[in-house]
A and B are shown apart, each in its own frame.
Chain A
């Protein structure tokens, strides 16, 4: 074997894996895309041909080893091919979020010193062209969809087809060029630079090597038994590590098919037609589906509705146990089987979930009821914890042991520890990133000399080794008795109740935890109507004795839950009050994305916080409010303060 063949046979970069896949499973489908209403497939050998042409075409345009090439657009096979095509030349792809505005793109394109950009369509082309003046490094734009661009005459614009055409000529003129270039690639080379979305400050470019991605891919493929028969639907942004792992790294290591939706609006229809076996969605997607389902069931005839409710109750009883292969009575199994025949099967089919073996959710906490609902139907939904810096995986739940409130034990190959002082989660894994691009300071802050990476999240391990993420590390405090106080964790737990819209938990350097509650006017209003309670306004409703009782029962059930957790049982909520007005972004109390601004609330409602920690059972308040038309007014109210029952700490059963 020649050196070139030997190097390729090491399969340590994605272009090499692509060659392997084309050889070993050349006629299996690698990509599918719906065009003109019909799913069009590309098998692995076609993909290799296309990548080869594109790669040689880019080389002919002048892309060299070490150059950065931006990828901007919705999930399309042609854009996924840019990754191996660029990597084959030893250049580095930099995917960008396709919905970012031109200025945000400018920062990344400038910081990464991008020389070429491969973009989807006219929209992205116009965006990049509008900022081109400030980007001296950017030499060319390659666009995929010609529509609207036919009359653009700029010399730096190239159509994807033309580049591939050029590449085919270049390839036949320079035989062996493509393989030689691929053979020069090594596992430790930089594979991709992913920019984190950057909620604080400028985005940071996370440099990831082939080894990082490939090993994370292989480990997770092994852990989940992923085979070349999987089907995934790629609809999440290509610039996000999750998609890069599922739709690229894992797809190339396992050799499975990646399916691109027709457009971003048709994802749900495409999902149903396709029936993927492996699926990822943020919690909000699952929650919306459930809400839609419930609304539609409300409109169904009574036979259907009763059938649905009966069997959903059966599923609640035994479904999760059946999924996790735990003992269930014969009678329970029979009822579940009937339910599967009449309800769960057709339901999962309508959602496009009937073939799913593994579904992940991550990114935000998911309501335990929603989580259990899907699992009880037989959908193997699991939570995942990770970040860009770890190539997505840090913790992962095993099929047989899934809980709504933890993210599972450390993933295979990952070590996780909790910092004793700050409570921050640290990990070390094969996926640990190389560095932040051109930002040594941040790299040093995040990555210790021994390779531990600071996540910025605070977490705890449950008694049997599952990691529970509770809050951002900087928000976590301590009660006076030294118990951990994680406000966001408590708030999220409470917000899962439909009656509670917003919560602010207090407790740092206090004796116990107390909370402000905002009720959900619609849900509580509805409840009031059904219970014959009349009210005039939010303030009036919020101050009703009955409503206080309702909220108190919610808080107490959270307390009961907390008592089961040895680390958090001290942070049960002792006292609460329902605020007389809704927290509002217009008043500066919430951010525009509806996150609580703790400092502003502490300033504005200092008096109320003090009252929570006194013996008073009510307090008079006056608050300034800004009306929608910009006028300001004053609300006066007499707020009640209630005590809640707390529970003795206990060990979780089992």
Chain B
């Protein structure tokens, strides 16, 4: 099989000397790394290493006490989540966070929210430009449904779906925002082998077809090593390694962190 032309570009996101604490608890201590255009970047580490906090810092849910974040050439110290979304950062959650009573289609439609410009009244009347806008957005969503192969559940309330499919719908909603940077928080947690394989394929396809940059947190080492271009390893809030999967795998500090060494 041919090796895909990865075509990885320049720096898209850079975090510099980030530190985050909650009271006396220091969740992230002086961490720096970068994410390049069109790459798949994994953040790994044992439980409580600060992975999800890192993701929350990137999309503006937490505000770090120290350090700065540069996204798309713009440096910022603080940002609100909706600002992050407007700039093209979308994410999925470790615990599925969908509108359970709404259908798959509607859930993914909510991801288009920021793309809808017409006002509330004309949307309610489904008239004029808002009608055209609705149709354009629906077409985009249908493309995602086709892409993720979830046609069969288009009209099913997501609360009735099995977990693996809910995760896929969540990915669909994140994609609906046409993100520049996609943050995936444990996209494969709790899945069986087949669901994991499917999800891996979708992640690779998203990256390849749309050129989306992806940062993901994952526990399954096999998945991380196969999927990602570069890996950053956190342990107790500190960065202990950063490099290609092969480099990281051979790193003594990483081996110690995973096997457990007294601190």
CB distance from A132 to the nearest CB of B (A): 11
The answer, yes or no, to whether B47 is at the interface (CB within 8 Å) is: no
A36 touches B5 (CB 8 A): no
The answer, yes or no, to whether A265 is at the interface (CB within 8 Å) is: yes
Q: Which residues of A contact B119 (CB under 8 A)?
A: none
Q: Which residues of A contact B139 (CB under 8 A)?
A: 36
A37 touches B154 (CB 8 A): yes
Q: Which residues of A contact B143 (CB under 8 A)?
A: 36
A265 touches B5 (CB 8 A): no
B152 touches A151 (CB 8 A): no
Q: Which residues of A contact B154 (CB under 8 A)?
A: 37
Q: Which residues of A contact B2 (CB under 8 A)?
A: 151-154
CB distance from A486 to the nearest CB of B (A): 41
Known: A36-B146, A126-B1, A129-B1. A147 touches B151 (CB 8 A): no
Distance between Cα atoms of A153 and B1 in the complex (Å)? 9
Distance between Cα atoms of A151 and B204 in the complex (Å)? 12
Nearest residue, chain B, Cβ from A266: B152
CB distance from B245 to the nearest CB of A (A): 20
The answer, yes or no, to whether B256 is at the interface (CB within 8 Å) is: no
The answer, yes or no, to whether A269 is at the interface (CB within 8 Å) is: yes
Tell me the count of chain A residues lying within 8 A, CB to CB, of chain B.
Answer: 19
Q: Which residues of B contact A37 (CB under 8 A)?
A: 142, 145, 151, 154
Distance between Cα atoms of A386 and B139 in the complex (Å)? 44
B149 touches A263 (CB 8 A): yes
B1 touches A265 (CB 8 A): no
Known: A36-B143, A37-B142. A263 touches B151 (CB 8 A): yes
A-B contact pairs, 21 of them (CB 8 A): A34-B151, A35-B146, A36-B143, A36-B145, A37-B151, A38-B142, A129-B1, A147-B209, A148-B205, A148-B208, A148-B209, A150-B209, A151-B208, A152-B2, A262-B151, A262-B152, A263-B149, A263-B151, A263-B152, A265-B152, A266-B152
Q: Which of A26-44 contact B (CB under 8 A)?
A: 34-38
The answer, yes or no, to whether B4 is at the interface (CB within 8 Å) is: yes
Q: Which residues of B contact A150 (CB under 8 A)?
A: 208-209
A152 touches B146 (CB 8 A): no
**How would residues 1 to 36 of chain B score, 1 for a CB under 8 Å from any chain A CB and 0 otherwise?**
110110000000000000000000000000000000
**How would residues 118 to 154 of chain A score, 1 for a CB under 8 Å from any chain B CB and 0 otherwise?**
0000000010010000000000000000011011111
CB distance from A76 to the nearest CB of B (A): 13
Q: Which residues of B contact A147 (CB under 8 A)?
A: 147, 205, 209
Q: Which of B194-224 contact A (CB under 8 A)?
A: 205, 208-209
Q: Which residues of B contact A126 (CB under 8 A)?
A: 1
A151 touches B151 (CB 8 A): no
Q: Which residues of A contact B205 (CB under 8 A)?
A: 147-148
Q: How many contacts A-B (CB < 8 Å)?
A: 40
Q: Which residues of A contact B151 (CB under 8 A)?
A: 34, 37, 262-263, 265-266
CB distance from A157 to the nearest CB of B (A): 9
Interface residues of A (CB under 8 A from B): 34-38, 126, 129, 147-148, 150-154, 262-263, 265-266, 269
Q: Which residues of A contact B1 (CB under 8 A)?
A: 126, 129, 152
Distance between Cα atoms of A461 and B4 in the complex (Å)? 63
CB distance from B82 to the nearest CB of A (A): 29
Which of B149, B152, B154, B205 is packed against the most chain A CB atoms within 10 Å?
B152
CB distance from B42 to the nearest CB of A (A): 21
Q: Which residues of B contact A151 (CB under 8 A)?
A: 2, 4-5, 208
Distance between Cα atoms of A407 and B154 in the complex (Å)? 40
Distance between Cα atoms of A36 and B142 in the complex (Å)? 5
Distance between Cα atoms of A152 and B143 in the complex (Å)? 22
CB distance from B222 to the nearest CB of A (A): 20
Sorted from nearest, which 10 A-B pairs have the closest CB atoms? A265-B152, A36-B142, A151-B4, A266-B152, A262-B151, A153-B2, A152-B2, A263-B151, A37-B142, A266-B151
Q: Which of B169-212 contact A (CB under 8 A)?
A: 205, 208-209
Q: Which residues of B contact A154 (CB under 8 A)?
A: 2
New A-B pairs, 19, CB < 8 Å, besides A263-B149, A263-B151: A34-B151, A35-B146, A36-B143, A36-B145, A36-B146, A37-B151, A37-B154, A129-B1, A147-B147, A147-B209, A148-B208, A148-B209, A151-B4, A151-B208, A152-B1, A152-B2, A153-B2, A266-B151, A269-B152
Distance between Cα atoms of A35 and B139 in the complex (Å)? 11
**How would residues 28 to 60 of chain B score, 1 for a CB under 8 Å from any chain A CB and 0 otherwise?**
000000000000000000000000000000000
Distance between Cα atoms of A263 and B142 in the complex (Å)? 14
CB distance from A93 to the nearest CB of B (A): 27
Distance between Cα atoms of A36 and B154 in the complex (Å)? 10
Distance between Cα atoms of A271 and B223 in the complex (Å)? 38
Q: Which residues of B contact A129 (CB under 8 A)?
A: 1
Q: Which residues of B contact A263 (CB under 8 A)?
A: 149, 151-152
Nearest residue, chain A, Cβ from B4: A151
Nearest residue, chain B, Cβ from A38: B142
Distance between Cα atoms of A148 and B152 in the complex (Å)? 21
Which of A37, A148, A150, A266 is packed against the most chain B CB atoms within 10 Å?
A37
Nearest residue, chain A, Cβ from B154: A37
CB distance from A38 to the nearest CB of B (A): 8
Distance between Cα atoms of A568 and B143 in the complex (Å)? 59
CB distance from B76 to the nearest CB of A (A): 35
Nearest residue, chain A, Cβ from B144: A36
Q: Which residues of A contact B146 (CB under 8 A)?
A: 35-36
Distance between Cα atoms of A147 and B154 in the complex (Å)? 21
Distance between Cα atoms of A154 and B4 in the complex (Å)? 12
CB distance from B63 to the nearest CB of A (A): 40
Distance between Cα atoms of A495 and B139 in the complex (Å)? 49
Distance between Cα atoms of A201 and B1 in the complex (Å)? 32
Q: Which residues of B contact A265 (CB under 8 A)?
A: 151-152
Q: Which of B142-172 contact A (CB under 8 A)?
A: 142-143, 145-147, 149, 151-152, 154
Q: Which of B74-114 contact A (CB under 8 A)?
A: none
Q: Which residues of B contact A269 (CB under 8 A)?
A: 152
CB distance from B158 to the nearest CB of A (A): 16
Q: Which residues of A contact B142 (CB under 8 A)?
A: 36-38
Nearest residue, chain B, Cβ from A265: B152
Nearest residue, chain B, Cβ from A123: B201
Distance between Cα atoms of A280 and B152 in the complex (Å)? 21
CB distance from A153 to the nearest CB of B (A): 5
CB distance from B133 to the nearest CB of A (A): 17
Distance between Cα atoms of A37 and B135 in the complex (Å)? 13
Which of B2, B5, B142, B149 is packed against the most chain A CB atoms within 10 Å?
B2
Nearest residue, chain A, Cβ from B147: A147
Distance between Cα atoms of A126 and B1 in the complex (Å)? 8
CB distance from B154 to the nearest CB of A (A): 7
CB distance from A425 to the nearest CB of B (A): 40
CB distance from B194 to the nearest CB of A (A): 14
